Every structure is written in structure tokens, then in C-alpha cells.
Structure 1
Amino acid sequence: MKRTREEVEKEDKERAQLPDEFVAAHSDEFIKACDFILSKEPSFIDIITATNFELFLREAAPFEITLKSAFTKLSCAIIAQQISGKAGNSIKGRVIDLFDGTFPTYQQLKEAFKNDKRKQEVRGCGVSARKVTYLESLVNYFVEKEDEIDKMFKETGNDQEVIDHLVENIKGVGVWSAKMFLITGLKRYDVFASEDLGAARGCSRYFSENPELLKELTAKRTEVIKSKHKKNSNWKVYDDDLVISCGDRFAPYRTVFMFILWRLSATNVEVIANNERQFVRD
């Protein structure tokens, strides 16, 4: 006997229950986000529970935003630009060794950049001349706007303000880097980057498995925004406005949805876990 649509939806929702051990391992807000997403898309249960999400694990101490941690995140993002994760970690490790075992504060780098010899020592860690210029811009930003950015980073609901501020004031930090900082540095839950390759690729797979959703979003579109991603023989590139509209369905938890898309873009659970660990630690 053929099941009704209501029966299928009921069965999917009953199956989309997060395991107790998964719930216990993650923060309350993240579990709330997962429950919200699963209420809209129960089929995500397997990809969500495939492995833990390191960024959202339950912490022994409350997460605290500090200028030092924010500076370190942004500095490491600059160092890691356009090189492999392994190379970025190697350079970061040498910088840490240069500053006696800890990543330098913006005050320490400010002093270091005043001294040509010390600046060359930073260059000697593998930091290119261009990236040293970017780091100097970042250092000056933190030194000159210390109180302003401390207040801004600790306020919630101002994601676009943070993005605009970083892009306008720091050389080498673009929109994508600013969004990634919002996620890893400030732990914002409603960030979505349609320009991210992994997100676009994961959304392509999601659309291919949900043609009715694609049809619905296409019918509702009011503006066509072409994707900047190049056409690929391995996956179909969809227009940016469709990817953005797809993400909007999961607001105010688009960050978590983007993590799901990253998982959908991969085929190996170990690769997924390693990529997420690397992303969180950068």
C-alpha cells in the first residue's frame, strides 16, 4: 500500500532525532540550530550526525571574545591566504617560535615592525612581503581602533557592520575572510557565504537531490545574480541568487547550514572531519 505524503513526512521527522550522545557533546545553541534545520529538512540527519562539529562542541568554560583572540584569528587568516593548510600551519608555528612560544599580540607586532631586523625575522618565518604589509594594516587597525572594535565584536546582530568595518580598514581582508572570521572568531550563527566554493558545491548537490525546491526557488526569484564560480564538469554551478535564497530558508542558523553544505560537498567522513578541524583552528 502506497504511503501518503503526510505519513512519509511524519516518518522522516521521527527519524530526524539527534542521538543523546551527539546532543551531550555540543552546545545548547548549536543543538537548537540543528533542531530548527531538521524541522525544515529532516533528510540532513545523517550528514549532521556523521561526526561531531568541533566549532560547536560544548565547552568547559563559556566562550569569550577578546581582542587577542580576534587578532590571532585574523592574523592566521592572512598568513594562510592562497597556500595549503599544511604550509600555513608551518609558517604560523615559526612565528610562534619567534615570539617565545605564543602567537604575538598586536602590541608586540607593532614594536617588531618598527625594527627592520625584527621585521625581516618575521619575513624569515615564510611570511611574504605582501602579507607583512597586510599584517601591518591589521596591527594598525587594532592599535588605533582598540576600544571601538572591542565593543563592536562583542555586540550581536551587527554582522554586516563587522564585515564592512574589516573590509574597509584592513588590507588583505575581503568579504569571504570577514565572514569566516565572524564564524570562527566571533561564533556568529547566521553567516552565509554563497561565494564560498564548498558552500556552492554542497548547494549544487542539495539542489540535484531536491529538484522541487530548486523549481520553487527559481519561480520566486526577483533578480538573477550570476555565480563567480567557474563552470565545472563535476558539479553544476547555480546562480548566486538561488544559493542565497536556499540559505535564507535556514535563517537565523545559516552558519550551521553552511557547515552542512560543506559536508555535502565532500564524499569522505574523515575528510569532512579533518577539513572542519583545520578550518576551526586557522
Structure 2
Amino acid sequence: MSRFKRSYTGLKRPLPDEDEELSSKVTVELPKDFRDRHTVEFGLACDHILRVDPTLLEIITKQDFPLFLRREQQPQTLAHHYAKLASAIISQQISGAAARSVKARLMKNFGSEFPTPLQMHEQLSNPAGREMIRACGLSGRKVTYLESLTEYFINNEEVIEKLFNSKGKDEEIVEQLTKNVKGIGRWTASMFLVSGLGSYDVFAVEDLGLARGCSNYLSDKPTLVAKLTASRIAVKKSKIKHKKMNWKIYDEDLIELCAERFAPYRTVLMFIFWRLASTNVEVLEKNETNFVSK
């Protein structure tokens, strides 16, 4: 059982039928030192989440959230967005350490800076440059994906800048990236919204870790599950293969309905569910830190 799973210090663990009543009767606050270490928006997100479910205080404050710590903000430029998406492609299907190694070798060839779309285009346009890129540790397929991303940025600079700087365009951004860039699927595009654009209302329902975390969250909430089930409009079956799991797999529409209770801060809920899904604290800490560097 996860160390994080259900140990809420300072709050009486509710009986299943008390869940909905608890949120309206109990008020909890983030510790001041925890709040001060994180961004203002993250603090507001936690306030909202705790109003919905105060019992999440323990899992939230168990440790800091690296992505939401106060730090110098990077300029939201096209070069920044390109580097984030290219890094996401580099990181696919390999470990965090391997991805950092590939990225470091790539940057070394461009004066220790991540290449701009134009610089990458120039290298990919000739055989020697293309081989240099691949020699950094990239497969032929990933080179093709980077080329697709590069061409998209070069040919759509004004459109991308306007779209990425617009509020409330998350779904359109995901649609444009998945439609126009090879190698970028819905999950990768959603994670870019979080780490690249700082969106606070992203929830990747197809993620295995989220499904497990939500399952753990709902494990002692039969009343809530019943209410979610009664309110569902269209069933969306889980895409997770029903192998021998030691946790209940809920349909995607139920997970989405559960998450909607915490909008417009579902990104933070996503990180909380990942914590609830983890059984290894060291791995959890490493994964959250790696997320920042992508």
C-alpha cells in the first residue's frame, strides 16, 4: 500500500457516507511555510481543492511540488515553446537520465544552448548536419519527429505565437499539435500545456498513473462513486487493458466527472492523483523533479 495512500494527519478519517458532508463542515489551510515556497496561483489552486475535499491536505503537504516552486520565470517565447516540445519528443520511451544525456549532447553542438527552430532546420537540411543530430543519441524516427516540429514552427510562427499566448485555448492547442506534428500525441501535448504554458486546468484522463490514483482516491468513497455514476451522460470505457490489477479500473467518463469537481485547477489534482498512485517515494520525488526539466 502506498505510503501516501490514505493517512491524513489532523483530520478524522471520514466514514464513506460522510465524504460529501465533510467538505462543507471542515476548513483546513496550507501551512504558511509550504504556501510561501510555492507560487501564488498554486496556493489558490490548493485552497480550491481543499474546499472541495479537506482530507487531501496530508497528501498535498507531504512534500513540495517542484513544478510549482517559486523561481525565476522563463520568458514565454517561441524558442522556449519549441525547446519544451522538442525535449518532450527526445524524452519519449527512454529514462529521464538518458533523455538529459541526449539533450546535453545536442545542446553542446549548438554552443550549450538549445537550438532554435531555424538552427535545427539548417542542420536537418543537409546530410552531415542530420547525422550530427542523430549522433546525439536520437533514433531515425525521433529525428523525423523533430523535423516535423521544426517545420511546423518555421511555417506557422505568427499563428503559434497568437495561439500559445491566448487564454482558454488548451483544447485547440492540443488539437493543432497532434494534427500538425508527427510524434506528438494527446498526452505529450497535454503535458506541454502544463510544463510549457503553465496551464492549471489540464487533466490527462488516459494516463495510467492518474487512473490508479483516482482509483485509490475513490476506494473508500462509495457515496461519491454512486453520485458520479448517476450523473454520467455517456459511458467512455477505460482504454487500460484489464489485466490482473490490484486496483479497480474506472471508466474514463467517471474519472473525468470526479476531476471536474476540482476545476479550474485539475492540473494540481493530476499531480495529487499521481502521488496517490505511487508506491515508491523516491521514484515519486524523481519523477516530479524530472517533470520540471522536460
Q: CA deviation at 1:272?
A: 2.2
1:249 paired to 2:261: yes
Judge conservation of contact 1:227–1:237 (CA < 8 Å) in 2: yes
Query: Structure 1 residue aligned with 2:281, among 263, 266, 269?
Result: 269
Q: CA deviation at 1:225?
A: 0.7
Show structure 1 runs of 5+ residues with no match: none
> Residue type of the partner of 1:281?
S
- Give distance in 1, aligned partners of 2:220 and 2:94: 33
Counterparts of 1:110-189 in structure 2, within 5 Å, are 110-189=121-200
**In the alignment, which residue of structure 1 is the partner of 2:247?**
235
- Give distance in 1, aligned partners of 2:218 and 2:149: 39
Judge conservation of contact 1:230–1:237 (CA < 8 Å) in 2: no
**In the alignment, which residue of structure 1 is the partner of 2:234?**
223
Query: Structure 2 residue aligned with 1:29, among 34, 41, 49?
Result: 41
**In the alignment, which residue of structure 2 is the partner of 1:13?**
26
**In the alignment, which residue of structure 1 is the partner of 2:213?**
202
- Give the alignment's TM-score, normalised by structure 2: 0.89
Query: Structure 2 residue aligned with 1:260, among 260, 267, 272?
Result: 272
> Residue type of the partner of 1:258?
M
1:89 paired to 2:92: no
1:43 paired to 2:55: yes
> Residue type of the partner of 1:170?
V
- Give distance in 2, aligned partners of 1:136 and 1:281: 22
- Give distance in 2, aligned partners of 1:59 and 1:252: 23
Q: CA deviation at 1:59?
A: 2.7
Q: CA deviation at 1:10?
A: 7.8
Q: CA deviation at 1:270?
A: 3.1
> Residue type of the partner of 1:31?
G
**In the alignment, which residue of structure 2 is the partner of 1:80?**
91
What is the number of residues matched between the two proteins?
A: 277
Return closer, same or farther for 1:63/1:96 CA change in 2, 3 Å cut-off. closer
> Residue type of the partner of 1:168?
K
- Give the alignment's TM-score, normalised by structure 1: 0.93
Q: CA deviation at 1:108?
A: 0.6
**In the alignment, which residue of structure 2 is the partner of 1:67?**
78
Judge conservation of contact 1:12–1:42 (CA < 8 Å) in 2: no
- Describe the SS at the equivalent of 1:222: coil
Judge conservation of contact 2:238–2:250 (CA < 8 Å) in 1: yes
Moved runs in structure 1, 4+ residues, more than 6 A? 3-6
Root-mean-square deviation (CA, aligned residues, Å) is 2.0
> Residue type of the partner of 1:173?
I
Q: CA deviation at 1:235?
A: 1.8
- Give distance in 2, aligned partners of 1:249 and 1:238: 16
Give the helix-richer structure, 1 or 2: 1
> Residue type of the partner of 1:190?
D
**In the alignment, which residue of structure 2 is the partner of 1:106?**
117
Return closer, same or farther for 1:180/1:251 CA change in 2, 3 Å cut-off. same
Q: CA deviation at 1:12?
A: 7.2
Q: CA deviation at 1:233?
A: 2.0
Return closer, same or farther for 1:169/1:10 CA change in 2, 3 Å cut-off. closer
